Structure 1
Amino acid sequence: MDDDDPRGLPAGQSGLIVRVPEAESVVGAWRDRLDPSARAGVPAHVTVLFPFLDAGRIDQEVCAALGEVLGEHRSFQARFDRCGRFPGVLYLAPDLGDHFQRLTEAIARLWPECPPFGGQFAEVVPHLTVAQGQDEGVMEMVEMDLRTALPVVAQVSSVDLFVHDGRRWRSRAAFPLA
């Protein structure tokens, strides 16, 4: 959900995210301007698995399996104290990226037909996207501003299922961690 422009996504597309409300005061205004997913209803977050199953396939059995696998993972505190970059993307990097990766790996093992980011990347790097598709000057300005407001410390206690309705992303369920 991070690095995809939500326009043109089919209705029923889904993804699993960890909301990071503690970051909204730091990144919210930037995301509203520079991250299309924010304008489409996605809060500040770290993606756990995108794309996930089509919404039509997400039934009580799938939700029960998600609840079970995620309930095996303990809640944790993540600290976002630096910025990172991918080509065309500025993000906040969590210090406990391996915790996020374990969540991704656990879900991807149950649904191998849903590799992270469609199998597009050899390595999945947990991150909170702030801006994408901007020129270098804009990215540098945003990064300098973010550095003055870091760190962001977040309590990670659940994973949310979001579904795209053809226009906007909407939360469908939340699955608590232990």
Structure 2
Amino acid sequence: MSHADRRTALLVAAREAEPVVREWRLRYVRESVERGIPPHLTILFPFVPAAEIDEEILDALGRLYAPSSAFDYALESVESFPDAAWLAPEPAGPFLDLIARTRAAFPDRPPYGDPEHVPVPHCTIGADDDPAGVEAMVRELRSGLGTQLPIRCQASEISLLCERADGSWFERGAFPLEGRR
């Protein structure tokens, strides 16, 4: 993979969830865990190619997120898309606000590359191309993880993750939610 092809993402890492969901993620999205992607809620993916990340973009991200305040949330329930099982955050509104703020600042970078996509805040725990596999995964997660929910978390910063040539990811920057106006 060339430097120009390496992807980036803006996300809220759900660090408090890691001890609870790690084994499940290793079971259902092992490659993501092994590549260094933490449990998270996506704000924007894909962001700009890694080759385009420079001080100007890093400064712009800092200014973009500084007015937003940190907030508490809980990963409350196991939900699903046809190809993924995920934990739903409550409240979801602050994530939608961060997504909207980011989308307005980078209108040429729509979520998942689709201008029509309507983001749903979520923390993916498992993925499967087969909807029946997802249904089975959801049943197992509700049974095995349900007693450990809700997982209380705090969103205090937006992380910029960058992909390396080997497919692993690393945090290139973190932008505090400082609540300044």
Q: Distance in 2 between matches of 1:103 and 1:26?
A: 25
CA offsets per residue over residues 41-60 of structure 1, 9 Å max, x none? Answer: 10111011000001111111
Q: Secondary structure at the match of 2:145?
A: helix
> TM-score of the superposition, structure 1-length normalised?
0.89
Q: Letter of the 1:177 partner, please give it.
A: L
Structure 1 residues 113-156: Cα deviation after superposition (integer angstroms, max 9, x where no partner): 11111117632100000011161323311221111110101011
Q: For 1:107 and 1:39, how far apart are their aligned partners in 2?
A: 28
Q: Provide the C-alpha distance between the structure 2 equivalents of 1:137 and 1:114, rounded to a whole number of angstroms.
A: 34
Among 11, 14, 17, the residue aligned to 1:23: 17
For normalisation by structure 2, the TM-score amounts to: 0.88
Q: SS where residue 58 of structure 2 aligns? A: helix
- Percent identity, aligned pairs only, is 33
- Corresponding residue SS for 1:65: helix
**8 Å Cα contact 2:12-2:158 kept in structure 1:** yes
Say whether 1:34 aligns with 2:28. Answer: yes
Q: Which residue of 2 aligns with 1:143?
A: 142
In the TM superposition, what are the counterparts of 1:108-147 in structure 2 within 5 Å? 108-119=103-114, 122-133=117-128, 135=133, 136-147=135-146
CA RMSD of aligned residues (A): 1.7
2:55 equivalent in structure 1: 60
SS at match of 1:83: strand
Letter paired with 2:155? V
Following superposition, the deviation at residue 11 of structure 1 comes to 4.5
Query: How many angstroms apart in 1 are the aligned matches of 2:45 and 2:92?
Result: 16
Bigger radius of gyration among the two: 2
Unaligned segments of structure 1, at least 5 residues: 1-6
What secondary structure is seen at the aligned counterpart in 2 of 1:92?
strand
Structure 2: where are the runs of 5+ without partners?
none
SS in 2 for 1:66: helix
Aligned residue pair count: 170
Q: 1:138 to 1:107 in 2, by over 3 A?
A: closer
- Return the letter of the residue paired with 2:142: E
Q: Does 1:170 align with 2:170?
A: yes
Judging changes above 3 Å, is the alpha-carbon distance between structure 1 residues 54 and 24 closer, same or farther for their aligned structure 2 residues? same
